[in-house]
Amino acid sequence: MKTREQLLEVFKKQFSVSDVNGLGLSFEDLRMGAIEDWDSLGNLNLLLEIENEFSVRFTTDELSSIDSLVQLEKYLSSGR
């Protein structure tokens, strides 16, 4: 499964969204605040799920600065 598809699956699971297209948002629009439940706590929980799904660990700085699926995709594709 491609990184973008995996990120969308984790996003949908974390925020109980069955259809991302139904939100009227593109992948590039999916960032903290784009949906009601994606607040700072929701973002932290999403990042923790991403850590588990992709077997990565974010630094404290990354946890406080990554706030969109585009940023996550770039981070994961950079091979860090």
Find the CATH number of the domain harbouring 42.
Answer: 1.10.1200
CA 53 to each of CA 7, 9, 14, 20, 26: distance values in angstroms, whole numbers, following the listed order: 9, 10, 12, 19, 22
In the three-class reduction of DSSP (H, G, I as helix; E, B as strand; rest coil), residue 68 is classed as strand
Q: Six-digit token pair at 64?
A: 């406080």
Cβ-contact 38, 15 below 8 angstroms: yes
Structural domain count, the chain: 1
Domain residue limits at 45: 3-77
| pLDDT at 79 exceeding the cut of 80 | no
pLDDT (tens digit per residue) in 27-75: 999 999 999 999 999 999 999 999 999 999 999 999 999 999 999 999 9
